[in-house]
Amino acid sequence: MKHIFAPWRSAYVESVGKSSECFLCKAFNSSPEEDRKNLLLFRAKRAFVIFNLYPYNAGHLMIVPNEHIGDYELLDSETALEMHRLLKLSIRALRSCLSPHGFNVGYNLGRSAGAGLESHIHLHCVPRWNGDTNFMTSIGKTKVISQSLEDLYDRLKPIFDSMWDDFKG
């Protein structure tokens, strides 16, 4: 068996099941001065954009309603619309910064659908590149993320801030 050292995962593994506090609400309710530390990329009126701490690919973002809602059917129309405007902004910003060839976009609603957090819905936006499933993932069963979240945050934050006026309607 091969082992790959990934010390950043220990915080997640040690916290599973120990906290009843929603990590998305915790990030949103923190001071905007802590947004970089929390990897909260952008705050809008009804929703926000945050990095996935355990990304599938570099630039894996989540668009999240400000309100703690676990059922998509309870999401009001204005929030749903703003979340999709933020998705459009996320795609444009990621294209500008990382030049992906495509995107996976979607919700995982319920544990059986793959939701790691069922109690607070969130929309995933995952940039994809031709060939990003390579021998490491297919043979080695290991995913390599090529950039730090902090580096990507610093590159994407000014793009989000400068583009939002074009998307808010």
Q: Per residue in 118-153, pLDDT tens?
A: 889 999 999 998 876 644 444 444 444 567 889 899
Tens-place pLDDT, residues 64-93 = 999 999 999 999 999 999 999 999 999 999
Q: Which residues of 10-134 form beta strands (DSSP E)?
A: 40-43, 47-51, 61-65, 102-107, 123-128
pTM of the model: 0.81
Catalytic residue among 60, 84, 120, 122: 122
Just give the CATH number of 20-167: 3.30.428.10
By CB atoms closer than 10 A (0-12, 13-18, 19+), residue 61 is buried
- 122 given a catalytic annotation: yes
What end-to-end distance do the CA atoms of the chain give, in Å?
A: 53
